[in-house]
Amino acid sequence: MLIREKLSKYISFLGLLVLVIFFQIVTKGNLLTTKNVLLILNQGYAILIASFAGVFVMSTGNLDFSLGAIAGFSCVCATLAALNMNPFLSIPIALLVGVGIGLLNGFVQNVFKIPSFLTCLCTMFILTAGTQSLITGSSIMMPISMMSWDSNAVKIVFGIGYTVIMVVLFKYTRIGKQLKAIGVSPEAARQSGVNVPGMMTLAYVLTGLAGGIAGFFLMLRTGGAATTTGQTVTTDVIIAIVFGGMSIAGGASSKISAAILGALTVTILNNGMILAGYGGDAQQFVKGMLFLVIVAVSTKRGTGIVK
């Protein structure tokens, strides 16, 4: 039992190591070239940002299915603000849109007592429709002057600061402790003095904020916004967090480190499949199967209840 417990702590890292070795062999050494490592970091940046916030919601035993749609809609709004007003307004616009949607998710769930996954699914459909309505054609481009904003130095500095804040909030403040308590038992948490509706709203606000930040950086990386922007973020984040060693059921075992390890794993999986010659359809198939396995493993047999 002791050996099994020790192995379980390192299984996520071992999985990442196996994945790296596999794709390094399959791609004939192209995975770990300097150019591709930088590409992996850029590709995984938005997933990492979203995964950190995803841990906060998942620790309560819930999932935010609207996260990808928030990133896409925020990206569109930021691009339109840069085009029609001022490039510098794209930053606050993206953040305000994300926070506003997070507040809406929390409000609807708490006031109307609608299950969180249904609330977020409805939000996802609404935002997807909004994104498609705002984009005339398949994509819109941000001003050329903003191309210089896509700086690795800026990403590194912001990424370090963002990581420190999220780690401190989850590990060293009562926010993380109370969210994990909700994941164990909402009723027990309520009886212990936890403001369950308030904490759930805060969790969704954090994912909304992360979606807005991710949308802004997606705009910089792709040069604008498209109807498909953010489409895979939600599944990437869920798979990343679970691959990082956190249960989809949340609770006391929730850990913020799952976001870092998991985001890196999913990004290498995406990048490695492309280098190996597999297209987007194959990637979606693999991630769809992984998501199915994750849900199956995390569900009690015969009850449909997530463990």
pLDDT by residue for the chain (307 residues), tens only, comes to: 455 455 556 777 888 888 899 899 989 889 989 899 989 989 899 999 999 999 999 999 998 999 999 999 999 999 999 999 999 999 999 999 999 999 999 999 988 888 888 999 999 999 999 999 999 888 999 999 999 999 888 999 999 999 999 999 999 999 999 999 999 999 999 999 999 999 999 999 999 999 999 999 999 999 999 999 998 899 899 989 988 888 888 888 888 989 998 899 889 988 988 888 887 677 778 777 777 776 666 554 333 444 4
pLDDT of res. 200: 94
Locus of tokens 């930040």: 213
pLDDT of res. 281: 74
Question: Would 10 be classed as within a structural domain?
Answer: no
- Whole-model pTM: value is 0.89
pLDDT of res. 68: 94
113 torsion bin: left (phi>0), alpha (psi -120 to 50), beta (else): left
pLDDT of res. 253: 82
Return d(Cα 53, Cα 39) in angstroms, integer: 23
E strands, 29-157, in order: 139-141
Q: Are 123 and 66 in contact (CB under 8 A)?
A: yes
| Tokens describing residue 233 | 């973020």
| Domain hosting residue 113, numbered range | 44-265
Going from the C-alpha of 38 to that of each of 29, 46, 192, 261, the distances in angstroms are: 15, 14, 47, 17
Question: Would 96 be classed as within a structural domain?
Answer: yes
pLDDT of res. 201: 95
Question: Would 158 be classed as within a structural domain?
Answer: yes
Question: Would 115 be classed as within a structural domain?
Answer: yes
Return d(Cα 293, Cα 287) in angstroms, integer: 10
pLDDT of res. 304: 41
Question: By CB neighbour count within 10 A (0-12 exposed, 13-18 middle, 19+ buried), where does 157 fall?
Answer: exposed
Q: What is the DSSP string of 143-211?
A: -GGGGGG--HHHHHHHHHHHHHHHHHHHHHSHHHHHHHHHHH-HHHHHHTT--HHHHHHHHHHHHHHHH
The tally of domains found in the chain comes to 1
Q: Are 286 and 273 in contact (CB under 8 A)?
A: yes
pLDDT of res. 6: 55
Question: Would 119 be classed as within a structural domain?
Answer: yes
